[in-house]
Chain A
Amino acid sequence: MANVTLRNVRKAYPNGFEAIKGIDFDVGDGQFCVLVGPSGCGKSTLLRMVAGLETITSGEIDIGGRVVNQIEPADRDIAMVFQNYALYPHMSVYNNMAYGLRNRGMPKPEIDTRVQESARILELSAMLDRRPGQLSGGQRQRVAMGRAIVRQPKVFLFDEPLSNLDAKLRIAMRVEIRKLQRRLNTTSIYVTHDQLEAMTLADILVVMNGGQVEQIGNPLDVYKKPATTFVATFIGAPPMNLMPARHASLNIPGAADGVIGIRPEDLEIANQGTPEGALPFELTVAAVEHVGAETYIYGMRPQQGDADTISARPGEPPPGEILVRVPGQDAPAIGEKIRVLAPRERLHVFGEGGRKRIEL
C-alpha cells in the first residue's frame, strides 16, 4: 500500500526527442489511476519509468515515500501486467506465478499458499499445471494478473492489458480488474488508449498528449469540464462538436478567437423558438447511424461568413459537421433540414487556441 508521486518527471532520448515534458501528479494509497492518451503521447513510457524499465532524465518518482529513481525494477516493490502478457512459455501456470517469489528466496510453503490463494481468486486453480500455450487469451490474461498479485506489491502497473482480447472479453475483464483492485485495495496505474476503459476504471484520470498532461481529475469532472479542446474531443464517444467561437454570436469575454464545443447528447432538436441564451444551428442531415438505443445524426452547417473553419485532427468530425445524439430510433431523412439547439449552460468555451477553458 503506497502513494505514487511524480515530481516534474522528464524523459529525453539521446537523439534529443523529449518523450515526457515535465509531469507532476500524485496517486493516493489504494487509488486507481488511469493514464489515457493517443498512441505516442508518452503514457507507456511514463509507466515504464515508474516500473524502472526506462531511465528518468530528470525529476523524481516516489513510491511509498521512497524516491525510486536509482532503484532496480525488482526492488521497487511493484508488479506489472504487460500487453502481450509476457508469460514464460516453458513454465506451467503455477511456476509462472511462483517464479518471482522463488527468486526472492521465499520459503516453499509460503509460495504455495500464495499461489493457491491467487489462483482461487482468479479461478485458475484447475489449470495450474498447464502451460501458457494451452490457455485461451482471457486465461493468459488472468495468469498475468496472478503473477502480479502473488507478489502482494505496493503498486500494480498495467500496460494496456486488455488490448489483445476480443471486445466482449475486454468488457468482462475490465469489470474484473476493477473488482480485484477494490478487493486488494492496491494502488494501481493503468495505461490505455481506450477512453471508455479509462472512464470506467479510473479514480483519477490523467489525460496525456504529446508528453504532457492535459488534465488530471475525477473521470466525471474531466468529462463535464474538459480543460482543453484535446480533452474535450478525446474523452467521450462520439466526440464533442467543436467550432470557432466567431461563428456563433456569443458575447463571452476572451473567447473571440476561441473555440466553442457542445457534446452530441446535449443538442436538442427543436424546430421553433429559441430559449434565452441558447444557440441555434440550422443543419442539413448528411448521414444517420442507428446504434439501437440511440441514433447519431450527422448534420452539415451552412458555411458562414468567410467559411474559415478549424482544421480537424484524425478522429474528429470535419469542419462544418455537427453530430447530434438523440435517444430512440426516430431520425430525420437524409437531406432533410433540421434545427438543433445548444443550451447555453451546456456549452464549453475554450480560449487561447483551445488551450484554456473559460467558465461561462
Chain B
Amino acid sequence: MVEHRRFGNLLPHLVLLTGVAIVAFPVYLAIIASTHDNTVIANGQMPLYPGTHGLETYWNTIVSGTGKTTREPVGGMMLNSLIMALGIAAGKIAISIISAYAIVFFSFPFRMTAFWTIFITLMLPVEVRIFPTYKITSDLHLLDSYSGLILPLIASATATLLFRQFFMTVPKELVEASKMDGAGPIRFFFDTLLPLSVTNIAALFVILFIYGWNQYLWPLLITTRDNMQTIVIGIKKIIDVHDALTEWSVAMATAVLAMLPPVAVVVLMQRLFVKGLIETEK
C-alpha cells in the first residue's frame, strides 16, 4: 500500500517536472545565449552554461545602440512598451468600469442596446478593423505617437462584461443604503464600488498589461520612427538584418528583457490576484 502510494505521488511529480522543463528550457537557453559572445552562437555552438559577456551584452543592448546596425537602444523601446502597456491597461479598466457602472446601475433608454453594442465589439478586434482604424488614426494625426498606440486599443468588451457581472452581484440594498446615507452616484462609485472592485481591477490589470505589452501588429503599422518602436517589434528588427550577421546575443538579451515586466507584474499582483479569487464577502 505504502509502495503504491509512493509510486502514485511520483508519477504526477514526474509529469509536472517534465512539463516545467519543457516550458523553462527555451527561457534558460535565451538567458544563456545572451551571456555569450556573438561569434560563439554564430558558429553554431550553443553552449548550455553561462558565458562571460553577460554584463557587456546587456549594457550594449539597453543603453547604446551598436554601430553596425541602425538599432535603437532597447531601454527606449522598453519605455515605449511600458507607456503603451500601462496606457492600454489603465484606459481599458477606466473605460470599461465606467460603462459597466452605467449599464448596471442606471436605467436609461436603450440601455440593453448599449450593452449589446459593446458586447458585439468582442467580434471586432484590431485585426478585423485594421484599415478603418488606421485611416482614422492617421486622419487625426496620431501616427507615431503614444496616443495613436494606446487609444484605438482601449475599448474593451471583455472587461466591461467582467465588471458588469461583478456589479450585478453587489446587493441592491447597498446602493439603497448609500442613497439613504446621502451618497450620490459619484460618491457611491468612488466610496463603495471602487473599493469593492479592487481585486477585480488587479486581476484585469495583469491580463490587460500583458495584452498591451505583447501588441505587435498595431504598433508595427502606425510607428515608423525608430524612437517610437516597442520592444516586441524591436526583437523582430534585431533578428531581421540585411547584409550582416544577426546579433543573436543581443536578440536574446532583448527577448529576456521583454519578458521581465510582465513577469514582474504577475509576481507583484499575485497577492491581490489570489485574494480576489478566495475572498467571498461582498
Contacts and interface: CB of A to CB of B under 8 A. Distances in A.
Contacts of A86: 171, 173-174, 176-177
Given A84-B171, A84-B173, A89 B179 contact: no
Contacts of A85: 173
Chain B: interface size category:
10 to 19
B185 to A, nearest CB: 12
A73 B174 contact: no
Interface string A72-91: 11100011101111111110
15 contacts: A53-B176, A73-B176, A73-B180, A74-B179, A74-B180, A82-B173, A82-B177, A86-B173, A86-B174, A86-B176, A86-B177, A99-B183, A100-B180, A132-B281, A147-B177
Interface in A25-64: 51-53
Interface in A92-137: 99-100, 103-104, 132-133
A100 B143 CA distance: 49
Interface in B256-282: 281-282
A96 to B, nearest CB: 9
B180 A99 contact: no
Interface string B183-216: 1000100011001100000000000000000000
Contacts of A83: 173
Contact of A74 (B174, B182, B191, B195): B182
Contacts of A79: 180
B181 to A, nearest CB: 4
Contacts of B183: 74, 99, 103
Given A82-B173, A88-B174, A133 B281 contact: yes
A147 B177 CA distance: 10
A89 B282 contact: yes
Nearest to A89: B281
A132 B181 CA distance: 17
Contacts of A89: 196, 281-282
Given A80-B176, A103-B182, 12 more contacts: A73-B176, A73-B179, A74-B180, A78-B180, A79-B180, A82-B173, A84-B171, A86-B173, A99-B191, A100-B182, A103-B187, A104-B182
